[in-house]
C-alpha cells in the first residue's frame, strides 16, 4: 500500500521541477500611478492596438500614456457625476458605424486581425471610447454657440476648396450648413476639453513609471 504514495510523490516532484524550468510568465507592469489608481503597460498596449486598427498606425507609448491619463480624468469625473453607462444597443450601433467606415467587412476583419485586437477587445474599446466622448459632449456642448460668420468662413475656406480639389461642384451653403455647424461644435468641444484637461492635470498626482516598465 506504500508504493502508490511513493509514486505520487515522485510524480509531484517531477512536475515541480518541470514547472521551475518553464519560462517565467510575463507579469503586467505599472505604467503610471494616478492618484490611488494605476495604469498598466497592458492598457498602453491595448490602446496602441486600437489606434493601429483605426488609423493604421499608433502613437508612441509616452503619447498613449498621456491619453490614458486624460481618459482617467474624464472617466473619474463622469463616474462622480453618475453619468449613465451605455446600453448594448448604443455600443452595437457605434460598432456598426465603425464597420461601415471600411470598404468591406473583409477589410474590417483584416485590419482587426492585423492590429492584434480580438472581437471582444474591440467591442470593449469602442464602448470605452464612446462613453468618454459622450460625456465630454454632454459637458461642453450646451455652452457652445456657433456664429453665422464662422459658418460662412468655414464654407469658403474649407468646403468649397475641398470640392474644387476633387473636381466636384461645391454644395450650397444651405445644403452644407448642418454639417458645418456640427464640425464647428465638435472643434469647440475638443478645444474646451483640451483646456479643461490641462487644468485638471495640474490638480492630480501622477507618477510616470513607463520608462521603468519597458517590455
Domain of residue 150, CATH code? 1.10.4030.10
Q: Which domain holds residue 109?
A: 26-212
Judge whether 165 and 121 are in contact, CB under 8 Å.
Answer: no
- pTM exceeds 0.75 for this model: yes
For the chain, give the mean pLDDT: 88
Give the total number of structural domains in the chain.
Answer: 1
Q: Is residue 169 part of a domain?
A: yes
CA angle centred on 211, ends 43 and 208, rounded to 5°: 65
Residue 211 or residue 188, greater confidence:
188
* 140 domain residue, yes or no: yes
Q: Give tens-digit pLDDT for 128-150.
A: 999 999 999 999 999 999 999 99
pLDDT digits (tens, 9 = 90+) for 28-51: 899 999 999 999 999 999 999 999
SS3 101: coil
Task: Give the C-alpha separation, 85 to 147, whole Å.
Answer: 33
Residue 7 in any domain: the answer is no
Q: Is residue 4 part of a domain?
A: no
Is there a domain that residue 16 lies in?
Answer: no
Q: What percent of the chain has pLDDT over 70?
A: 85
What is the band of 26 on the pLDDT scale with cuts at 50, 70, 90? Answer: low
6 inside domain: no
Mean pLDDT across 67-72: 97
Would 13 be classed as within a structural domain? no
19 falls within a domain? no
Q: Is 167 left (phi over 0), alpha (psi -120 to 50) or beta?
A: left
Query: Which has more pLDDT, 28 or 193?
Result: 193
Q: Residue 35 has what pLDDT? A: 96
- Give the three cell numbers for residue 176: 452644407
pLDDT of residue 151: 97
Across residues 106-125, what is the average pLDDT?
96
CA dist 39 and 210 (Å) reads 10
Q: Is 196 helix (H, G, I), strand (E, B) or coil?
A: helix
Amino acid at each position: 500500500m506504500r508504493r502508490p504514495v511513493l509514486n505520487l510523490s515522485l510524480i509531484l516532484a517531477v512536475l515541480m521541477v518541470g514547472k521551475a524550468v518553464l519560462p517565467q510568465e510575463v507579469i503586467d507592469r505599472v505604467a503610471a500611478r494616478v492618484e490611488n489608481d494605476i495604469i498598466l503597460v497592458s492598457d498602453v498596449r491595448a490602446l496602441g492596438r486600437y489606434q493601429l486598427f483605426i488609423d493604421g498606425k499608433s502613437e508612441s507609448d509616452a503619447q498613449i500614456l498621456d491619453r490614458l491619463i486624460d481618459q482617467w480624468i474624464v472617466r473619474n469625473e463622469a463616474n462622480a457625476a453618475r453619468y449613465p453607462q451605455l446600453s448594448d444597443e448604443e455600443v452595437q450601433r457605434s460598432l456598426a458605424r465603425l464597420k461601415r467606415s471600411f470598404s468591406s467587412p473583409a477589410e474590417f476583419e483584416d485590419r482587426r486581425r492585423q492590429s492584434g485586437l480580438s472581437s471582444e477587445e474591440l467591442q470593449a474599446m469602442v464602448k470605452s471610447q464612446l462613453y468618454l466622448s459622450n460625456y465630454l459632449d454632454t459637458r461642453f456642448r450646451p455652452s457652445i454657440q456657433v456664429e453665422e460668420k464662422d459658418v460662412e468662413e468655414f464654407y469658403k475656406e474649407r468646403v468649397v476648396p475641398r470640392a474644387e480639389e476633387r473636381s466636384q461642384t461645391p454644395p450650397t451653403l444651405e445644403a452644407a450648413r448642418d454639417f458645418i455647424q456640427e464640425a464647428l461644435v465638435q472643434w469647440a468641444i475638443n478645444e474646451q476639453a483640451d483646456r479643461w484637461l490641462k487644468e485638471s492635470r495640474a490638480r492630480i498626482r501622477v507618477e510616470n513609471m513607463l520608462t521603468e516598465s519597458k517590455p
